Amino acid sequence: MHTFLNYLVVLAVAALLLGPSLYGVARERRIDRQLRGAAAGRSKARRAQKSSSRSTVPSTATW
């Protein structure tokens, strides 16, 4: 019975020590995915903007 409790204590201490680190790694990966997605969206928008056949000169018509 004491051996089982010792294992539980070791697992609890390991969880307390590793928990914040694992949470931080998961958070960093999520942020990296968001940054990659934003960069991909931005590059797609630039490609669509460059391939447009419309003129980018503003109209000078006045009313």
Can you give the pLDDT at residue 58?
A: 64
| Model confidence pLDDT, tens digit, residues 24-55 | 999 999 999 999 999 888 877 777 776 555 55
> Is pLDDT at 63 greater than 90 in this prediction?
no
Can you give the pLDDT at residue 45?
A: 75
Can you give the pLDDT at residue 1?
A: 83
C-alpha 3/C-alpha 6 separation (Å) is: 5
Q: How does DSSP assign 4-30, residue by residue?
A: HHHHHHHHHHHHHHHHHHHHHHHHHHH
Can you give the pLDDT at residue 44?
A: 76
3-state class (DSSP) for residue 63: coil
- pTM tops 0.85: no
